[in-house]
Amino acid sequence: MNDVFDLRQGLARALDGREQAWEFIRDFAACWERPLEPADGFGEAELAAAEQRLGMPLPAALREAYGLFGRRSDLTSNHDTLLGPDSLYVHDGALVYQAENQGAAFWGVLLTDLEQDDPATVMRPDLADKSQERWEPWEPALSTAFVSMVMSELMQLDDGLTDHAEADEDLDLAGTFTELPAVGRSLRWFAGPDVLLREVDGWFLDVRARTPQALDAVRSAITADWLYC
């Protein structure tokens, strides 16, 4: 961690509600990428136009997220894609707001939950047999889903400060780094001096650093076939 922003404490607070989630995202962006600015969000006219086109209101959490950082592709669309307000659509009883980068999955909010301020989210895999597709429970709150999105998408930003590797089954990240509160399905998060690590499904590792030196320190500490080494 660092003196500017305590990831562990900030993330723990972010899971308490959407106001805390937005505070975390502001601090996270400022510390790990660049501060949010007014131009980074969509305006009221664009959100109202989306509601008129869809014929339904957007949940408060979705409106707030779009207004705060909806245009920041570095935080929302490096791997998967946050749909813009003009691209939101309804599919089989859910409002779809995010798509996997190859169309293998989609994330949304059930139409029956749209009147909630911070509704739960659902995920739907894109299967060859469409009759087997179902919306499956995902994150318990939309604000939590956005926290996971911002953290995960930054791990995919290709600017020389990220790297990726298969994790050895005996790797004990908790013995070297500080484990963070759980956010995101099948993900574990860890932090160290100027580095953030994400373990996916127990076998794949992503690392994001604030400096090239911090990234090299992780590569030295963890023996792995790093993608960019």
Query: Across residues 202-226, what is the average pLDDT?
Result: 95
- Residue 162 binned pLDDT confidence (cut-offs 50, 70, 90): very high
Q: What is the CA radius of gyration of the chain?
A: 18
CA dist., res. 103 & res. 133, Å (int): 14
Mean pLDDT of the residues in the chain: 95
Q: Is 113 helix (H, G, I), strand (E, B) or coil?
A: helix
| Mean pLDDT for the stretch of residues 66-75 | 98
Q: Is the model's pLDDT at 133 over the cut of 50?
A: yes
Distance CA 117, CA 115 (A): 6
User: What is the mean pLDDT of the segment spanning 103-108?
Assistant: 95
Residue with tokens 């013995």: 175
Q: Which CATH superfamily is domain 7-151 in?
A: SMI1/KNR4-like (3.40.1580.10)
The β-bridge partners of 23 are: none
What is the average per-residue pLDDT within 117-133? 94
Look up residue 15 and give its DSSP letter.
T
CA distance 59 to 66: 11
Q: What is 158-221's CATH number?
A: 3.30.310
145-159: pLDDT as tens digits? 999 999 999 999 999
Q: What is the model's pLDDT at position 170?
A: 82
The answer to whether 13 touches 25, Cβ cutoff 8 Å, is no
> What is the pTM (predicted TM-score) of this model?
0.94
Which residue in 135, 161, 140, 136 sits closest to 216, CA to CA?
161
Q: Using CA atoms, how far apart are residues 200 and 158, in angstroms rounded to an integer? A: 18
Q: How confident is the model at residue 2 (pLDDT cuts 50, 70, 90)?
A: very low
Q: Is 191 helix (H, G, I), strand (E, B) or coil?
A: strand
Binned at pLDDT 50, 70 and 90, residue 4 comes out as low
Cα–Cα distance for residue pair 100/79, rounded to 1 Å:
7
Domain spans in the chain, listed from the N-terminal domain onward: 7-151, 158-221
* CA triple 146-152-153, angle to 5 deg: 90
pLDDT at residue 1, as a whole number: 41
